[in-house]
Structures are given as structure tokens and as C-alpha cells.
């Protein structure tokens, strides 16, 4: 039974680090020129992708700055809960003193 390929960090994903060129042959380079050309083409794609990522990250950073500026103008939690508390207290007082308010205004409750 053949040994499994070297496993980096003993993770489930195995990285095969064995060479993939054929041993022997007349050229001696094992297709090295073609492999290098493929690596160079892949590197150009990586460079293009990194440039796109940089552009995208600048856009994200600009949007985050705008969002931070917009958030500063929003009311705080303390203000919102304070307003709810005051409105709730006013409604509770109106319900509690409903008959006195009706008498003061000269409106009699209907039976």
C-alpha cells in the first residue's frame, strides 16, 4: 500500500507535494517551460484580482465612513427610552385621572 501524500497541519484537506513531472524523457525539463508559462498567467490573474479587491475595499471604507457620519445624527438609546417613558407616564396619568379631566372639561361620561 502506498503512503498517503504529505498532509500539511494534519488537516482533512491533503496537499500533495509530490512532483508531477514524468521522470525520464528526452527533454530533461519535464515541461518546465509550459508550467512556468501557466504560473505566470495565473500570477497575472492574481494581480488583477488583488487590484479589484483594493478598489472594492476603498469603496467599502468610504461607505463605512459615510454610515458612521449618518449614525452620529441618530438619537441615543437613552433619549428614545426617555421619550417612551414620558409618553407612557402621560398616558397612564390620563387614564388614571380620566373622570377628573372629564369633569373639569364639562364632559360627562355616558353610561
pLDDT at position 103, please?
A: 87
Asked if 82 and 88 count as a contact pair (C-beta separation under 8 A), the reply is no
Residue 15 has pLDDT above 70, yes or no: no
Evaluate if pTM is beyond 0.85.
Answer: no
Residue 27 has pLDDT above 90, yes or no: no
**Which of 18, 21, 13 is CA-nearest to residue 3?**
18
**Which of 22, 46, 48, 45 is CA-nearest to residue 34?**
22
CA distances (Å), origin 80, targets 67, 71, 90, 105: 20, 14, 16, 32
**Integer Cα distance of 71 and 76 in angstroms:** 10
Amino acid at each position: 500500500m502506498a503512503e498517503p501524500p504529505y498532509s500539511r497541519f494534519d488537516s482533512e484537506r491533503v496537499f500533495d507535494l509530490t512532483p508531477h513531472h514524468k521522470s525520464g524523457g528526452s527533454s530533461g525539463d519535464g515541461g518546465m517551460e509550459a508550467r512556468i508559462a501557466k504560473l505566470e498567467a495565473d500570477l497575472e490573474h492574481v494581480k488583477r484580482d488583488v487590484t479589484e479587491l483594493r478598489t472594492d475595499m476603498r469603496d467599502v471604507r468610504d461607505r463605512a465612513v459615510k454610515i458612521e457620519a449618518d449614525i452620529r445624527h441618530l438619537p441615543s438609546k437613552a433619549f428614545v427610552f426617555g421619550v417612551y417613558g414620558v409618553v407612557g407616564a402621560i398616558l397612564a396619568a390620563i387614564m388614571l385621572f380620566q373622570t377628573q379631566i372629564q369633569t373639569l372639561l364639562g364632559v360627562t361620561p355616558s353610561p
